[in-house]
Copies of this chain bind each other. A is one copy, B any other.
Amino acid sequence: MIKAGIIGATGYAGAELARLLANHREAEVIWYGSHSYVGQEYTQIYQNMYEIADSTCLDDNMAEVARQADIIFTATPQGLCASLIQEDILSGTKVIDLSADFRIKDVKKYEAWYSIQHPAPQFIDEAVYGLCEINRDQIRNARLIANPGCYPTCSILSIYPLLKEGFLDPSTIIIDAKSGVSGAGRGAKTDNLFCEVNENIKAYGAATHRHTPEIEDQLSIAAGEDLVISFTPHLVPMNRGILVTAYASLTKEHENADYAQLREIYDHYYQKETFVRVLEKDVYPQTRWVRGSNYVDVNFQIDPRTHRIILMGAMDNLIKGAAGQAVQNMNLMFGLDERTGLESIPLFP
C-alpha cells in the first residue's frame, strides 16, 4: 500500500484527492493535512466521507508527513509547497504539487505573474510538468511533479496535436474558457456565494489570468517557438466542469484541410489514451458527459469561411484538472496501471 499524505485536504481539490484515494486499491491516505480545521474530524467537514474515512485533521508539517508517507500531495495556495520543500523531503518521498509553484520554468515569469518571490527556485528544473499524456516518461522517474492547472490541462490537450503538427498559426491562438465554481476553491468569499453565482455568467482576469503563462509555455514547446495567446476564463453557475473553446487560424498550407485529415492527427495522438476521448464528427464536448471522471473529451469544427478552426475540450476540473491527474501521476511514479483508482464512469445526470 502506498502511504499518501495530503496537505490541504479540506479544500475542494484536496477533498477530491481524499475521495479518489479512498477507492484506490493500492494507496491509502495517512495524513489529512489542513490549515483551518486541525484537530477536527475530517468527516465533519466532508460528510460524504462519513463512515468511510476515519481521521482527524492534522497540520501541514511537511517534514513529518515525509517521514510517514511515500508520497505527498500539496493542494495548497501558491508558494506554500515551495516554502516547505527541501532536499531532505524529496530524497525520501515523492511530491506532487497541485499548486503552480513548479509549473513555470522561468522563475522571473513565475514571480511576475504570481506576485510572489519563489521560495525554492532550485527545484524548478527538476520538477516535471505532470501532463501525463504528453510527459509520461519523465513522470515515471520524477521525484517532484508540478501537477498542471485546470485550464491548462483542458486547453493544452485540446490544441496540442494540431499545433505540434504545424496546422495552426501559433500567433492566432485565442482560448475562451468556462469553469464551474469549484475551481474557485472553498474559501468563504462573497463573490462565490450561491446568490452571486447562480443565474450569472461573467468573464474574469481577461488577459491577466495566471494560467496564461503556463499554457503559453507548454504550447510553445509544442510549436517549437515562443508564442503568446489570449486567454479569458469565465465563471459558470455549475459545480464542476471546464469547457475550453479555442480559436486558431489554419496555416496557409493547410487552410483547406478537411475534418478527416485533421481527425487523423487527433487519433494518432490520442487513440491509445484512455482518458482523452476524441468524439465523433459534429459531436461537441460537454461537461455533463465527463463529470465525476478523469476523461477529457475533445473535438473540433472547421470554419471554411474564416479558415479558422474551433477546438473544444471538456473535463471535470477537480478530477482531470486536479486530483485525478495527480492520482494518474502517482500511478505512473509507482509503476501502477495508470488508470488505477480512476475507473469512475461520468455521472449523468
Contact = CB atoms under 8 A, between A and B. Distances in A.
Interface of A: 12, 15, 19, 22-23, 44, 46-52, 174, 176, 178, 180-182, 186, 188-190, 192-204, 206-207, 228-230, 232, 234, 236-241, 243, 245, 247, 277, 279-280, 283-293, 297, 301-303, 305-306, 308, 310, 312, 314, 343-349
Given A19-B347, A50-B279, A199-B288, 12 more contacts: A47-B283, A186-B190, A194-B194, A194-B197, A195-B349, A202-B243, A202-B287, A206-B301, A206-B303, A230-B303, A239-B349, A240-B349
Contacts of A344: 23, 344
Given A303-B206, A349-B196, A234 B243 contact: yes
Contacts of A314: 202
Nearest to A191: B188
Contacts of A347: 19, 48, 292, 347
25 contacts: A12-B349, A19-B347, A44-B283, A47-B279, A48-B347, A50-B277, A174-B174, A174-B247, A178-B178, A178-B201, A178-B236, A188-B188, A192-B195, A194-B197, A194-B198, A195-B349, A198-B239, A199-B291, A200-B287, A201-B241, A201-B286, A206-B312, A207-B306, A228-B305, A230-B303
Residue among A181, A202, A247 with most chain B CB within 10 A? A202
Contact of A247 (B189, B200, B230, B236): B230
A58 B48 CA distance: 37
A234 to B, nearest CB: 7
A345 B23 contact: yes
A49 B345 contact: yes
Contacts of A198: 181, 194, 198, 237-239, 349
Nearest to A238: B199
Contacts of A288: 48, 196, 199-200, 202
Contacts of A243: 201-203, 234
B186 A193 contact: yes
B284 A203 contact: yes
Contacts of A178: 178, 201, 234, 236
Contact of A48 (B234, B284, B289, B302): B289
Contacts of A188: 188-190, 193
A198 B286 CA distance: 11
A237 B240 contact: no
Nearest to A276: B51
B186 A195 contact: yes
